[in-house]
Every structure is written in structure tokens, then in C-alpha cells.
Amino acid sequence: MKKVQKDVGTFMEKWLDRTVRQYLSKMDGRENGHLHELILGGVEKPLLQIVLQETQYNQTQAANLLGINRNTLRKKIQEHKIKCKE
């Protein structure tokens, strides 16, 4: 499990490094790019959708996989307007 986590971490770091550098190169350095908000917002919704799909929309299982409280997951589902199968 630790090797998988390390491999994923390394992949994520490389992906993030490449993506952020591309974004920054397109900015002129004076703009307020809201980079933190952009990245977290851009990653959170698809992550939630993927985990919910993989758990057949079982919010308790999804919250456990994500390492967050089920009520927090429900709040994020509402914030991102994610449609869950009933």
C-alpha cells in the first residue's frame, strides 16, 4: 500500500508541477490568478464524482475513502451541485 501511495504521490506532484508551471507561464505575473482556489476547485468536484461513482453513490463509503466526515461530503455535494443517484 505504501508503494502505491508513493507512486500516486509522485505522479500527482509531477502533474501538479507541470500544470501550475504552464498556468503561471501564461500569466504576466501581475494578475491575481486565484491559483489556490482554481486548483482546489478544479480538483475537488471531479474527485468527489469519481469516488461517488466508484462507491455506487454510497456516501458513507465515499466519505470513508476520501477521509472526510459524511456530513462534510454531503455539504460538498450540494456546493458543487453533484447529482447523486437515488
Spatial CA neighbour of 72 closest among 37, 80, 14, 43: 80
- The per-residue pLDDT for 6 is 65
Q: How far apart are CA 36 and CA 74, in angstroms?
A: 23
pTM over cut 0.75: no
Alpha helices (H) along the chain: 2-26, 35-54, 59-66, 70-79
Encode the chain (86 residues) as per-residue pLDDT tens digits: 666 666 667 888 988 888 888 888 887 666 676 788 888 888 899 999 999 999 999 999 999 999 999 999 999 999 999 998 75
For the chain, how far is it from start to end, CA to CA, in angstroms?
33
